[in-house]
Amino acid sequence: MNIAAAILIILLLILISAFVSSAEIALASSRKIKLQLMGKEGDTRALDVLKMQEQPGSFITVVQIGLNTVAILAGIVGEAAVRPYLDELLAGMPWAATVASLLSFALLTGSFILFADLMPKQFAMGNPEKVAVRVVRPMLLLIFLLKPFVWIFDGLARLLFKMLNISTVRQEQLTSEDIYAVMDAGAQAGVLKKQEHYLIENVFEMQERTVTSTMNSRESIVYFDKHDTGEQVLETMAANPHSKFLVCDGDLEHVIGYIESHALLTLFLKEENVRLTDKRVLRKALFIPDTLSLFDVLETFKTSGEDFAVIVNEYALVVGLVTLKDVMSIVMGELVNTEEESQIIRRSEDTWLVDGATPLEDVMRALDIEEFPHSENYETIAGFMMYSLRKVPKRTDYVVYGRYKFEVIDTENFKIDQLLVSLQKQD
């Protein structure tokens, strides 16, 4: 074999190896979601790739047969043609045979590493789906042509894996962590706008946050006693301009329903003596447990047709109220302007005023804190302080966690009203 024929054969082997290498990486790394979208758009080759990914044994067998065969043939050609040619060029030099052998090995190995392995794989990794749909049909043809070998080697591999109780079926279950990672990558790449990233992140948080993290707590509930007079009702409504009020029989543990302000005021304009138990204005209250997630609450509002609910704990005690507006405020957050005072106010570059009832998730987002210790035991920043101090906090009590100092600056009875959070300077 002359040197020209040897070079042509080696180039052909490099092309074959490059095709197999790129096919291996592309078919293995193609994203399921992207392929599904391509399939829906009418590219049936994407569906072939998905089927091959579900049972990858056949194409992996063909890849290995192809790569090993090419490597052996390249070695034979190099030994038969390239090395003798180098022997002639280096004739008369000391150690000519050894140097020729080493040069032959280096040239062939370097060429295959660069052109048959490294470059094709890098290209395929950068464009996995595009490459995969182009190589899948030729790979299916190779699998068909090499079926006897595929059957033998793939069968032996399956048998060994079965004996070792190892599954080879590709599992590609999408988790919330995967979606978070995709969103972060999309935001960094500029594909997702900041507002879009914020909204999607909040929607996923609804699955994790319980209703107590956004409820109006028990002490802030304004309610009517069913025996209140018209004057008492109007005074309460004037002092607390809410759209809905609970009606109780004595106390919050005996809720009999709720009244909408506009309906009650309309009835007051028509009649002098209005009873709070009048069926024309009294509506049945929706009760929900305090263990529901915000997503569950949203579904409950949807199925019941209500937008207002009373939250009770495991002892059937009323712990708070929640409205549809409260739930949606978690989704929209800072993207909409509200009349309510913010629970976290930045005083300076390194200090914040934080309401004690602020949910942990909001504090974590505002201060860029990944997690609080043992957070399953509390839901608010006040709960964190009580858990950390192991007592009912008083003014000037503080906790240092991470880079921040959390100091109690205002209390009411046993309740933490306000905290001063300051960023500690690192030494």
State the DSSP string of 49-65.
HHHHHHSTHHHHHHHHH
Q: What is the pLDDT of residues 119-129, one digit of tens each?
A: 988 898 888 89
The closest alpha carbon to 248, from 222, 209, 274, belongs to 222
Rounded to whole angstroms, how far apart are CA atoms 112 and 132? 22
Is 254 in the same domain as 180? Answer: no
Structure tokens at 142: 């190779």
User: Judging by DSSP bridges, how do beta strands 398-401 and 404-412 pair with one another?
Assistant: antiparallel
Q: What is the pLDDT of residues 202-212, one digit of tens each?
A: 777 777 788 88
Phi (first) and psi of residue 292, to 5 degrees: -70, 145
Structure confidence at residue 92 (pLDDT) = 63
Q: What is the pLDDT of residues 393-418, one digit of tens each?
A: 899 999 999 899 999 999 888 889 89
Percent of the chain with pLDDT over 90: 20
Q: Is residue 170 part of a domain?
A: no
> For the domain that residue 229 is a member of, what is the CATH number?
3.10.580.10
Structure confidence at residue 8 (pLDDT) = 86
Compare 192 and 377 and report the one with higher pLDDT.
377
Is 311 in the same domain as 397? Answer: no
Average pLDDT over residues 215-219: 87
Is 202 in the same domain as 224? Answer: no
Collapse the DSSP code of 421 into the 3-class scheme (helix H, G, I; strand E, B; otherwise coil) and give the result: strand
Q: Is residue 168 part of a domain?
A: no
Phi (first) and psi of residue 175, to 5 degrees: -110, 170
Task: For the beta carbon of residue 216, count every other beta carbon within 10 angstroms.
Answer: 16
Contact 211, 294 (CB under 8 A): yes
Q: Is residue 215 part of a domain?
A: yes
Is 155 in the same domain as 22? Answer: yes
Is 271 in the same domain as 392? Answer: no
Say whether pLDDT at 255 is over 60: yes
Rounded to whole angstroms, how far apart are CA atoms 134 and 113? 23
Q: What is the pLDDT of residues 293-343, one digit of tens each?
A: 888 999 999 999 999 999 999 888 999 999 988 888 777 765 554 545 578
Say whether pLDDT at 104 is over 80: no
Entry pTM: 0.55
Q: Is residue 23 part of a domain?
A: yes
Range of the domain at 186: 176-208
Q: What is the pLDDT of residues 18-64, one digit of tens each?
A: 898 898 888 888 888 888 888 888 888 888 888 888 777 777 888 88
Is 219 in the same domain as 198? Answer: no
Is 289 in the same domain as 352? Answer: no
Q: What is the DSSP letter of 278?
A: -
Torsion 84-87-91-96 (CA) sign: negative
Cα dihedral 55/58/60/64 (nearest 10): 170
CA of 169: how far to CAs of 52, 116, 139, in Å? Answer: 11, 29, 19
Number of domains within the chain: 4
Structure confidence at residue 427 (pLDDT) = 57
Is 54 in the same domain as 129? Answer: yes
Is 40 in the same domain as 157? Answer: yes
Q: Is residue 169 part of a domain?
A: no
User: Judging by DSSP bridges, how do beta strands 318-323 and 308-312 pair with one another?
Assistant: antiparallel
Q: Is residue 99 part of a domain?
A: yes
Compare 362 and 246 and report the one with higher pLDDT.
246
Is 322 in the same domain as 348? Answer: no
Q: What is the pLDDT of residues 122-156, one digit of tens each?
A: 898 888 899 989 988 988 888 888 888 888 887 88
Picking from 288, 307, 334, the residue at the C-terminal end of a domain is 334
Structure confidence at residue 257 (pLDDT) = 93
Is 13 in the same domain as 121? Answer: yes
Task: For the beta carbon of residue 32, count every other beta carbon within 10 angstroms.
Answer: 15
Report H helices in 78-210.
83-89, 96-111, 119-126, 128-145, 147-163, 176-189, 194-208
Structure confidence at residue 30 (pLDDT) = 86
Mean pLDDT of the chain: 84
CA of 76: how far to CAs of 4, 13, 71, 83, 104, in Å? Answer: 15, 12, 9, 10, 11
Burial of 390 (0-12, 13-18, 19+ CB in 10 A): exposed
Q: Is residue 171 part of a domain?
A: no
pLDDT band with cut points at 50, 70 and 90 for residue 161: confident
Is 11 in the same domain as 141? Answer: yes
Say whether pLDDT at 179 is over 80: no
Compare 77 and 228 and report the one with higher pLDDT.
228
CA of 403: how far to CAs of 171, 302, 375, 399, in Å? Answer: 40, 42, 18, 11
Q: What is the DSSP letter of 169?
A: S
